[in-house]
Structure 1
Amino acid sequence: VLVTGASGYIATHVIKQLQEAGYQVRGTVRSLSDSEENKDKVKHLQELCPDAAHKLELVEADLTKPESWEAAVKGVTYVIHVASPFPASQPKDENEVIQPAVEGTQSVLKACVATKTVKRVVLTSSCVAVNWSNTNSDKVHTEEDWSDVESLDAYAKSKTLAEKAAWDYIKELPDEDKIELAVINPAYVMGPVLHGSQCTSMEVAKRLLERSLPAVPKLNFAIVDVRDVAAAHVKAMTSPEAAGNRHLIVNTNMWMKEMAQILAKEFRPQGYSVPTVNCPYFALWMSALFDKSVKMILPQVNKVHKFDNKRMKEVLGIEPHDAKETIIDMAYSLIENGFIKKTKKYRGPGGIEETKAEEEKKEEKTEEKGEEKKEEGGEEKPKENGDAPADEKKEEEKKEETKADVEENKEEKPEEEKKEEKKEGEN
């Protein structure tokens, strides 16, 4: 199996799952030079599955160099084409993103046809190719839908045009050259990071944990776990029903504030000041003047895109990970891999439970000392939390709040903003 863009966020998970399933895997990278950066990249990729029956083979190939793909696909049975340019900010010329995406996909497909050994290509597209222009929040989009290219930004346009180019190319092939094509259309991908290079999928969790924004933009995401996305690629590679079809890979829709609340509960006790108050549009607009990545998200504020995952479950047999698990696992992986600094209170995965256990022990000791004083002095022990278990629980939750959260909640808010937040909470 050939996996393109081997060092990418999704591709590393695809390679790992393929190796665990016993496949012989070849991956493409843009360079295999002896630079320290490349040495680290290669080392990391080789260690994705230490017990693999076959060692990962790496070859050089570039989307902008059509001639590089002939050697890359030689002798392979399946190709999983994940590689695609993703800009950190809107490019001045959209063709900087569109051209390598479209022409690179065509180059890979042409090489697959020429080698005569490839049975099926699995192409990584995106949900933005299904819908990124229709913002009717009541409509649930399916694989039958396509985005209106004219209204898309550079990245969404590149994914849409690259997928359309792939379907057109396969359709026009003569019968003797036919190969199968299956397309994966994942939503916003989250979950644990396996590689050591920066990727766009990290941005939401990273910005919240680092508090790079003082408040949370009113953004809604259709999210999915990267492990489910990888599994979808592997299943689509051999599933008879997957050939000739698109597959939306999505779990659920979540507001960024909901993600922030999940992270706050887990990481505030570990020293991370995660914001949970919504950011007014004007403040976000001001931030966009100085931050190009913020500027990219402005058009999506308050918009909801819903997608159907019936084919994911029924054809590929994938039951998605719990969304809370996805978000927390991603956050821990960012910290463990050095993308986010560890605080002095950081305890690591499972550490929050240890912290709670320690706090419970301290409380038990305090109660024991109180009982001893009561026996010695004959005075009745004062009740701090009341008799009801519910009161004790509230007191415990209160202790877990950080100073940042307290300050946020102390701020006076206009009545209109309070109503708006209450309404959003109900949604």
Structure 2
Amino acid sequence: MSTVLVTGGSGFVGIHVVLQLLAGGHEVRTTVRRPDRRDEVLAMLREGGAASPETLSFFTADLTRDEGWHEAVGGCDYVLHVASPLSTSVPKDENEMIVPARDGTLRVLRAARDAGVKRVVVTSSLGAIGYGHPPRDKPFDETDWTNLDGTDLQPYVKSKTLAERAAWEFVAREGGGLELSVVNPVGIFGPVLGPDFSGSIEIVKSLLDGAMPAVPRVYFGVVDVRDVADLHLRAMTAPEAKGERFIAASGDTLSILDIARVLRRELGPQARRVPRLQAPDWVVRLAAARIPLLRAVVPVLGKVRHATGAKAGSLLGWHARSSKEAILGTAESLIRLGLVKA
């Protein structure tokens, strides 16, 4: 089997990628920013059912520094670059998110090229594909790019777009024999294995906790983290994936209210705090002046972006779970781990 490095193995997507690689018999390494996160990662792997989590090798490396990357990639056949800066609030300076995302990706690619790695799979986002455009009914696909001249682009969207563009440019100009594939997920849901999870998961947690009396009119695609991990592994080895992007999306675009309805319908009393109402846009804008978390929501109120994962299906044989299964996988794991109000 192959030797594979997963950057950011302590993250929500990264830990599921590590799980599937270990299950496939690969020799797996991961990077963490601090050595003291090793026990946390091992605990999440055990929660996920890993038979021998102790076989995972750890390397300390940070996207903002050169140290550690050459050691981490040395001897690897593949690198899955999942690590990325992510914030639940809007930073005052967008470069706090853009610079580490772009420069960190380039650090990983340079180290991989110098070590003779065959292929790097970069985790991007629909944020690099479907933003900054006028409203449209046609689903976005892998030929589309986010328009950086569009209005009200959030730093996270810019960071994913600039980082992915930098990756493609690097491989084209100075990648040598290094191959690149990219996975562009929509909103990622699914089973949580520990307290470190994404903003998408925070939405379900907030609904279950009753933190929102009414939900904002926000829409996004849904995909299960287990299917995102599976797509990374397919893109890692399939000859057809060389030089290609793949949207990871499981079905229709949903609103937060749609997600709330799934929770209430399927979870019964466990969803007793989940709100039933959708807040008017003007109320959300007013509240955003006092609640920093809502500031990121205002630019996307009422905007629907459809995306298709058909390419991953036709080219790589990838199939995704339903949106309902992804949402319930999130909720049930949060409840099981005691991460929501009793």
Establish whether TM, by shorter chain, passes 0.5. Answer: yes
Is contact 2:9–2:41 with CA below 8 Å preserved after alignment?
no
SS for the counterpart of 1:140 is coil
Matches within 5 A, 1:3-402: 3-33=6-36, 38=37, 40-45=39-44, 47=46, 48-52=48-52, 55-116=55-116, 118-151=117-150, 152-173=153-174, 177-252=176-251, 253-270=253-270, 272-342=272-342
TM-score of the superposed pair, with normalisation by structure 2: 0.94
Q: What does residue 406 of structure 1 align with?
A: none
* AA partner of residue 334 (structure 1): L
- Once the 2 structures are TM-superposed, how far is the Cα of residue 39 of structure 1 from its aligned partner? 5.4
In structure 2, C-alpha distance between the alignment counterparts of 1:215 and 1:245, rounded to whole Å: 40
1:146-184 CA-partner distances (Å, limit 9, x unpaired): 11113321110000000000000000127xx32100000
* AA partner of residue 31 (structure 2): T
CA shift in 2, pair 1:242/1:54, >3 Å: farther
Q: Which is greater in Rg?
A: 1
Is contact 1:29–1:60 with CA below 8 Å preserved after alignment?
yes
CA shift in 2, pair 1:244/1:279, >3 Å: same
The gaps in structure 1 that reach 5 residues or longer are 343-427
- Once the 2 structures are TM-superposed, how far is the Cα of residue 94 of structure 1 from its aligned partner? 0.7
* AA partner of residue 109 (structure 1): L
SS for the counterpart of 1:75 is coil
SS for the counterpart of 1:185 is strand
Greater percentage in helix = 1
* AA partner of residue 22 (structure 1): G
CA shift in 2, pair 1:166/1:17, >3 Å: same
In structure 1, C-alpha distance between the alignment counterparts of 2:274 and 2:184, rounded to whole Å: 31
* AA partner of residue 7 (structure 2): T
- Once the 2 structures are TM-superposed, how far is the Cα of residue 266 of structure 1 from its aligned partner? 2.6
* AA partner of residue 160 (structure 1): T
Is contact 1:188–1:221 with CA below 8 Å preserved after alignment?
yes
In structure 1, C-alpha distance between the alignment counterparts of 2:267 and 2:134, rounded to whole Å: 33
Residue correspondences, number: 335
Is contact 1:257–1:276 with CA below 8 Å preserved after alignment?
yes
In structure 1, C-alpha distance between the alignment counterparts of 2:45 and 2:228, rounded to whole Å: 21
Q: CA RMSD in A?
A: 1.6
In structure 1, C-alpha distance between the alignment counterparts of 2:266 and 2:307, rounded to whole Å: 29
* AA partner of residue 265 (structure 1): R
Q: Which moved more, 1:306-315 or 1:3-12?
A: 306-315
- Once the 2 structures are TM-superposed, how far is the Cα of residue 90 of structure 1 from its aligned partner? 0.9
* AA partner of residue 19 (structure 2): K
1:233-252 CA-partner distances (Å, limit 9, x unpaired): 00000011101011111112
Is contact 2:209–2:274 with CA below 8 Å preserved after alignment?
yes
In structure 1, C-alpha distance between the alignment counterparts of 2:276 and 2:263, rounded to whole Å: 9
Query: Which protein has greater RCO, CA pairs closer than 8 Å, 6+ apart?
Result: 2
Percent identity over the alignment? 40
- Once the 2 structures are TM-superposed, how far is the Cα of residue 72 of structure 1 from its aligned partner? 0.7
- Once the 2 structures are TM-superposed, how far is the Cα of residue 67 of structure 1 from its aligned partner? 2.6
In structure 2, C-alpha distance between the alignment counterparts of 1:132 and 1:119, rounded to whole Å: 31
Is contact 1:135–1:303 with CA below 8 Å preserved after alignment?
no
